[in-house]
Structure 1
Amino acid sequence: MAGRIGLTDITPTVAGGRYPAKAVVGRPIDVGATVFREGHDAVAANVVFQPAPVAGRPRARAQRSSLNIMTPGVPGTDHFSATVTPDAPGMWNLVIEAWSDPLETWRHAVEVKIAAGQNADELANDLEVGARLLEKIARRPRNPLAPTLKTAIAALRNTGYSVADRVAPALEPSTWQALRADPIRELVTRSAPQQIWVDRPLAEFASWYEFFPRSVGAIVDDAGRPVRHGTFADAVTALPRIAAMDFDVVYLPPIHPIGEVNRKGRNNSVDCEPGDVGSPWAIGSAAGGHDAIHPELGTIDDFDAFVTAAREQGLEVALDLALQCAPDHPWVREHPEWFTTRPDGSIAYAENPPKKYQDIYPLNFDNDPAGLYAEVLRVVQYWISHGVTIFRVDNPHTKPINFWEWLIAKVHTENPEVIFLAEAFTKPAMMHELGRVGFTQSYTYFTWRTGKDEIADYGVELVEAADYMRPNFFVNTPDILHASLQYGGPAMFAIRAVLASTLSPLWGVYSGYELFEHVAVRPGSEEYLDSEKYQLRPRDFDHPAGGTLEPFIGQLNRIRREHPALQQMKGLWFHEISSPNLLCYSRRDQQTGDTILVVVSLVSEGTQWGETNLFLPALGYDWGETFIVHDLVGGGLYVWGERNTVILDPSKQAAHIFAVRRP
């Protein structure tokens, strides 16, 4: 049913208000609405933004002590806008209040009639209406404006003054500004509350580093067979190197006991030989399940010490949440109803044709949802109690959507700081829906976007979804080694790092990327040869035989930290550049004005040349203006305008990352 005042097109909103929009603490939220009414009387609107009430807790205070008046947009559009800034994580309610504005209606009428030459007699009623409106405001308790308003009221009723002098005190700029801050609101029409989930800043801006603790400090023989298994104590020694590259998050694959039954051998072989360590994603054995530590990694005390050491290095620990089981997981014996039984009586193992995972049983969430839901919640809460507040969720698209909506909401009730990353490479509709139902971040198709047009199109798509889906651009993963990295050489590793770290505020690197690991198990495959998923892979980062990308990765992360433009998804603009092998785009933070302009080569060989055709308003400049660009990668200051010549030799410098400023 329509309200007394027309109120539509409220933003941000997700799926018509079915799901909360996303925001982070301290970052302004752009709020918009269309407000209108019959006739010619003025309308206005304000925003009420406050934490949502939580059952059993005192109602939180409103964020503002006065009305957050919305600003009208271009005349004729009926659009109003405002910004609000949350100061705490959790669920917030946003309500738009639209109302008839008698003060503005009066001001407009009086100014128009005076301009038309109407005299005091013709304006008598208008002047009296103004006096009565001001009296209404002056009667408000403890109104500091009351003396000023009394003077304005007397002037409006003083027939000895000219019309201009009678109106002037009421329309004096400082008086009018005070009146607009606390106006008369009539026929107030309120929107339904729009929910906004507010995360801590790390949910929107972070650099992730993935590594296997079992490989740190490990020793293997010449045939690649394990001699010594890495431990959490060993893994602590890797943290200073990761912190030196200015990463924020260290992500660990599953750290739980690994199944013995159907354990996979090296390179995903179905033949497991003595000493093969198996896949960490085949969770569970006689040593325990999802709430246990793999015995060769250490104890829960060792894990706690690792988390503490990471924090001391400025790093947070993300843990893999893989809801699946090895055949010898305790749940298989204790809760067979949590799995799918095939006609022959056996439990179905996981398949993603043509891939088979004989060492993994998927969970069935439909046979005993109450029991399984409660157990998963218990597991998550257990790891939260041990300092884990970030979970990278394995294959969430293979579990019910309503389960994730329930689980994330339950966790956030007590722990709003927890971050969930969806590792879902699947149909776009599912990926987007996972973002809507509550996942904090999402893996994306970035790894497979290598062409100029497809990168730009995908970037635009993700910006349009930024109110609910935060993309995390991983350059590689333990089971995704893109062909561009297999054959592009070290320059391509630098190119993809630039793209990931500057196109998205969230990006990730799997260990070995900095060493240019690029050999696939076979032609046409994206699996690594001697994949770390199935065997120990100790690496010599101190004396890399093929060189290292560590300094450049650290440089990229420091640039990101120093520039707000790179810390949010919005503000991305793709500019024209003549070469098909060069991509040009900018990022701009509207709050600070910080602007970054990137020109990156998309090919790893040969000198690339192109001429830009920059859309200057996206950079904060008018057409015809010039500005200074500072190359943050190679150094150097240049004066640029709309058209500029760019030359890149990717073997020497993969990209220009320019900080843009006025002369």
Structure 2
Amino acid sequence: MYKLSKIFLAAFTVTALFFSSCSAPEVEDKKPVGNVEHPEWSKNANIYEVNIRQYSEEGTFTAFREDLPRLQEMGVKILWLMPIHPIGEKNRKGELGSYYSVKDYKGINPNYGTEEDFRALVDEAHEREMRVIIDWVANHTAWDHPWTENPDWYELNEDGGFMPPRGTDWTDVIQLDYENQEMREAMLDALVYWVRDFDIDGYRADVAGMVPMDFWNEARNRLDEIKPVFMLAEDEGPKMHDKAFDMTYAWSYAHLIRVIAAGNEDLSALDSLMEVEETKFPDNAYRMYFTTNHDENSWNGTDPGMYGDNFENFAVLSATIDGMPLIYNGQESNLDKQLEFFTKDPIEWKEYEYQPFYTMLLSLKNENEALWNGEFGGDLTIYNSPENTYAYKREKGDDWVFVYLNFGGEAVNVPITDYALPEDASGYEIYSEQLPPEEQNYFEVAANSWLLIANE
């Protein structure tokens, strides 16, 4: 998390940010203190989401495992596997059902392979210095989960029957009751099982805010007794960082960049959002920044559809302005279709157009401390820049990264001296296609393009 005292803007306002149907989180009077002790390996990590069903024609752990060398070369550090458990059949949606309708917390989806296949995947990922977290659905189960033999483990409707989570249309799942201590203990036992017996490295907690916070705090305590784990909450609440979670979703950011890309909000809205981020979250909080994920892709649109000619600009922004960047499987191969959610719909792997692009971003993230996560990262300076552009710099010690994004339809010149860059180009490295200046004292940044410079 950057330090706000190092942000400089020509005209900076701390007004509430409103965009589309989503408003920025309210700023609390006092910034909470995060007490989570992050695993050492996470401080410069990135995260790659894996949809096993759609990753390949086979849709198996073994087929995905064949890609581990490529992902290692790309620089991936954390593999987040969407739910690997058997999917409920009763009241199932679609042909294959939702990944998030879990029928057995200690089981493996037979379509994906066996326990041995999964264990081999985790072991090889570790050999390649990657970590594995799995999706965990603690709020609800499938209608035909064995736990339904204990109706008092669930919230019941006025007729004494099972019911979907309140306020949702999730008719394929039923709500658990966290007032029931036996159920809680069974859930904790299942969480411990995968860390203890399969050596996974943590969890992504589905709809984490719908589950009581004291449950997650206890879960983190028990898991850390086995090994230091990494916990990602599908939530944006600062309280998540108190004891249980290393990282939360930067949802407000994700919503905002889509609105900006559609031309319905100005880039200056990012300034107010980053002010809120700094004020609202603990310094040590990791925030997950992304252009897409399984939900965004399936329900909201493709990368080309949401971001048009500026997809690379938003990807660079998401990887460098703050937090930990997420890549959804297929983005490195120009994922230009919305993957079906309830049936088989494999990724169309093409020429891996963006593989070098993401390799560059992840390598810089790994090596340059200015881009590290949470309090391990550098301060942020946001500069005043011309309309349709965005410029900023991250700095920590001797490490720094300068980013200039041109979202407009015409090329712009970027004067070196305006952005505190060394005039001697031999003192830094350029990661974009722009050539270092020779006799001129500026860079020319093409339309819908980006300039990324860092210390050598």
TM-score by length of 1: 0.57
Following superposition of structure 1 onto structure 2, how do residues 179-218 of structure 1 map, counting pairs within 5 Å?
A: 197-218=36-57
Please state how far the C-alpha of 1:346 moved relative to its aligned partner: 2.2
Name the CA shift for 1:613/1:365 in 2 (closer, same or farther; >3 Å): farther
Whole-angstrom CA distance in 1 between matches of 2:288 and 2:346: 27
**Residue aligning to 2:64:** 235
**Residue aligning to 1:550:** 355
Contact 1:401 1:437 in 2 (8 A): no
**Residue aligning to 1:296:** 111
Structure 1 unmatched ranges of 5 or more:
1-14, 23-196, 219-228, 266-275, 426-430, 520-527
Structure 1 residue aligned with 2:146, among 330, 340, 345? 330
Please state how far the C-alpha of 1:489 moved relative to its aligned partner: 5.7
Structure 2 residue aligned with 1:448, among 249, 252, 255? 255
Tell me: higher relative CO, structure 1 or 2? Use CA pairs within 8 A at least 6 residues apart.
Answer: 2
Name the CA shift for 1:562/1:633 in 2 (closer, same or farther; >3 Å): farther
Following superposition of structure 1 onto structure 2, how do residues 143-542 of structure 1 map, counting pairs within 5 Å?
A: 197-218=36-57, 229-265=58-94, 276-284=95-103, 289-323=104-138, 324-333=140-149, 335-350=150-165, 352-353=167-168, 356-366=169-179, 368=180, 370-385=181-196, 386-412=198-224, 414-415=225-226, 417-424=228-235, 431-445=237-251, 446-450=253-257, 451-464=266-279, 465-481=281-297, 485-487=303-305, 491-519=309-337, 528=338, 530-531=339-340, 533-541=341-349
Aligned letter for 1:587?
Answer: R
Aligned letter for 1:317?
Answer: V
- The number of residues matched between the two structures is 412
Contact 2:31 2:282 in 1 (8 A): no
Whole-angstrom CA distance in 2 between matches of 1:489 and 1:423: 23
Whole-angstrom CA distance in 2 between matches of 1:255 and 1:410: 22
Please state how far the C-alpha of 1:251 moved relative to its aligned partner: 1.0
- Residue 441 (structure 2) pairs with residue 634 (structure 1): no
Structure 1 residue aligned with 2:404, among 585, 599, 607? 599
Contact 2:32 2:238 in 1 (8 A): no
Whole-angstrom CA distance in 2 between matches of 1:512 and 1:212: 10
Name the CA shift for 1:601/1:360 in 2 (closer, same or farther; >3 Å): farther
Name the CA shift for 1:448/1:16 in 2 (closer, same or farther; >3 Å): closer
Structure of higher CA gyration radius: 1
Please state how far the C-alpha of 1:584 moved relative to its aligned partner: 0.8
Contact 2:369 2:378 in 1 (8 A): no
Whole-angstrom CA distance in 1 between matches of 2:218 and 2:31: 14
Whole-angstrom CA distance in 1 between matches of 2:306 and 2:148: 45
Task: Give secondary structure in 2 for the equivalent of 1:199.
Answer: coil
CA RMSD for the aligned pairs?
3.0
Please state how far the C-alpha of 1:349 moved relative to its aligned partner: 0.9
Please state how far the C-alpha of 1:264 moved relative to its aligned partner: 0.8
Identity of aligned residues (%): 22
Name the CA shift for 1:216/1:470 in 2 (closer, same or farther; >3 Å): closer
Whole-angstrom CA distance in 2 between matches of 1:477 and 1:264: 20
Structure 2 unmatched ranges of 5 or more:
1-27, 258-265
**Larger displacement relative to structure 2 (317-326 or 433-442):** 433-442
Aligned letter for 2:328?
Answer: Y
**Residue aligning to 2:373:** 568
Whole-angstrom CA distance in 1 between matches of 2:302 and 2:415: 25
Whole-angstrom CA distance in 1 between matches of 2:164 and 2:434: 55
Name the CA shift for 1:484/1:216 in 2 (closer, same or farther; >3 Å): closer
Name the CA shift for 1:612/1:462 in 2 (closer, same or farther; >3 Å): farther
Please state how far the C-alpha of 1:600 moved relative to its aligned partner: 1.5
Aligned letter for 1:372?
Answer: M
Whole-angstrom CA distance in 2 between matches of 1:598 and 1:19: 30
Following superposition of structure 1 onto structure 2, how do residues 48-87 of structure 1 map, counting pairs within 5 Å?
A: none
Please state how far the C-alpha of 1:362 moved relative to its aligned partner: 2.2
Whole-angstrom CA distance in 2 between matches of 1:632 and 1:656: 7
Contact 2:241 2:282 in 1 (8 A): no
**Residue aligning to 1:155:** none
Contact 1:199 1:416 in 2 (8 A): no
Name the CA shift for 1:483/1:258 in 2 (closer, same or farther; >3 Å): closer
**Residue aligning to 2:450:** 655
**Residue aligning to 1:583:** 390
Contact 2:191 2:219 in 1 (8 A): no
Following superposition of structure 1 onto structure 2, how do residues 35-50 of structure 1 map, counting pairs within 5 Å?
A: none
**Residue aligning to 2:16:** none
Whole-angstrom CA distance in 2 between matches of 1:359 and 1:636: 55
Please state how far the C-alpha of 1:246 moved relative to its aligned partner: 0.8
**Residue aligning to 1:76:** none
Whole-angstrom CA distance in 1 between matches of 2:80 and 2:407: 28
Aligned letter for 2:331?
Answer: Y
Please state how far the C-alpha of 1:585 moved relative to its aligned partner: 0.8
**Larger displacement relative to structure 2 (442-451 or 578-587):** 442-451
Contact 1:392 1:421 in 2 (8 A): yes
**Residue aligning to 2:21:** none
Task: Give secondary structure in 1 for the equivalent of 2:37.
Answer: strand
Aligned letter for 1:444?
Answer: A
Aligned letter for 1:348?
Answer: M
Name the CA shift for 1:236/1:438 in 2 (closer, same or farther; >3 Å): same
Aligned letter for 2:400?
Answer: T
Following superposition of structure 1 onto structure 2, how do residues 56-135 of structure 1 map, counting pairs within 5 Å?
A: none
